[in-house]
Amino acid sequence: MKATELSGVKEIARRANVSIATVDRVLHNRVGVALKTKEKIESIIKDMDYKPNILAKRLASKRVHRFAVLIPRECLETDYWRAPLMGIQAALNELGDFGVEITYYLFDRHDSKHFLEMSEYILAKSLDAVIVAPIFVSEANEFIKRCDERRIKYLFINSDVPCSQPLSFIGPDQWQTGRLAANLCQYIIRREDVILTLFIQNEFSSTDHIKNRIDGFESFFKEHDANREIVKHEIQAHDYATFSESFSTFLDFNDIDVIFIPNTYAYWVARYLEEKGILNLKIIGYDYTSKNLDYVKNGGIDFLICQKPLELGYKALTTLFEHFIAKRPISRVQYTPIDIVTMENFRLYKH
């Protein structure tokens, strides 16, 4: 049974045989409480399902927390980033009464200079924290260094930055998503089939999380099917026409049965095969986008590995709430669930 704010602290103190001041220190994560006593109090709090009245305290303090969002804007190529924005807005609708303000800075995912331009606007503001999608690793490193200097907290979503210390990273375990893709391959390949790992790259985007996916994919086969023939190929293309020409040349000299695309461009491959009337190749790709889901719907993509990006944005803002307002400890890494979308369940995914 939930305790009321009026009686809760007194009851916790009575059960723990400590003072109200000691309970208050534990509730607000302050120093000065012995570890054994702290653990006892936390156990009682959990048993009582006690929740301090955070809203009343916020209204009394009149403190406003100002956060920024620095993520890619939606583009013709992909609508992936629309969903995290919707998730952030959904969380803001719930948390607005707690004194939370959000400013959005959306950058061109193909233009590192635009990322830097948006980051300059953020650094000129008086902020508590920023939610960042670190698409450009070197530029993101420079940005977070300057955030540290200004004591602005930062939280990463979707991909992490090596050797950094964000408040938290929220996103999938990329290495495990690669292993999942390899495991799925086992259900659609024969002994003699050849697998292609096809990395479609643009000039600027981060490749660290893609490398982790590929490493996970390869590690699975090294453990379970070391003699499996896997061909690796990379295509640099900013548009479908460039990709199509390059991919056509590659297929002229290679016999492939299964294609693993470790980023969002599975729909390009599916479109190419559809246009050429090639029906016997299997595709495993990534990311919750309307174009990818369209090809899942018509059978052009066999498996789509993704997370729910709306929940990604929602969790990002609620994590900032937990840290700044509820004063609760935050995990450095918060891995999100991995979904497998197929023709049979795609209708459950709205876009």
Place 338 in a pLDDT band, splitting at 50, 70 and 90: very high
pLDDT digits (tens, 9 = 90+) for 25-40: 887 777 889 999 999 9
Is 5-52 CATH 3.30.450.40?
no
Comparing CA positions, the residue from 205, 211, 184, 199 lying closest to residue 282 is 184
- Mean pLDDT in residue range 18-24: 79
Residue-level pLDDT at 162: 83
Mean pLDDT of the chain: 88
Residue-level pLDDT at 2: 39
Contacting residues for 91 by C-beta, under 8 A, at least 6 apart: 313, 314, 316, 317, 318, 321
Residue-level pLDDT at 1: 34
- CA atoms of 224 and 160, how far apart (whole Å): 28
pLDDT digits (tens, 9 = 90+) for 6-19: 457 778 888 999 87
Q: What percent of the chain has pLDDT over 90?
A: 62
Task: Say whether pLDDT at 277 is over 90.
Answer: yes
Residue-level pLDDT at 203: 55
Task: Say whether pLDDT at 3 is over 50.
Answer: no
Are 188 and 222 within 8 A, CB to CB? Answer: no
- CA atoms of 215 and 224, how far apart (whole Å): 14
Residue-level pLDDT at 141: 94
Is 174-306 CATH 3.20.20.150?
no
pLDDT digits (tens, 9 = 90+) for 38-93: 999 989 988 887 766 665 565 555 778 999 999 999 876 678 899 999 999 999 88
Place 167 in a pLDDT band, splitting at 50, 70 and 90: very high
- Mean pLDDT in residue range 280-294: 93
- CA atoms of 259 and 231, how far apart (whole Å): 9
pLDDT digits (tens, 9 = 90+) for 247-276: 999 999 999 999 999 999 999 999 999 999
Fold of the domain built from segment(s) 60-171+309-336: Rossmann fold (3.40.50)
Q: Do domains 60-171+309-336 and 174-306 have the same CATH topology?
A: yes
- Mean pLDDT in residue range 318-347: 90
Q: Could you tell me the residue ranges of all domains in the chain?
A: 5-52, 60-171+309-336, 174-306
- Mean pLDDT in residue range 189-210: 82
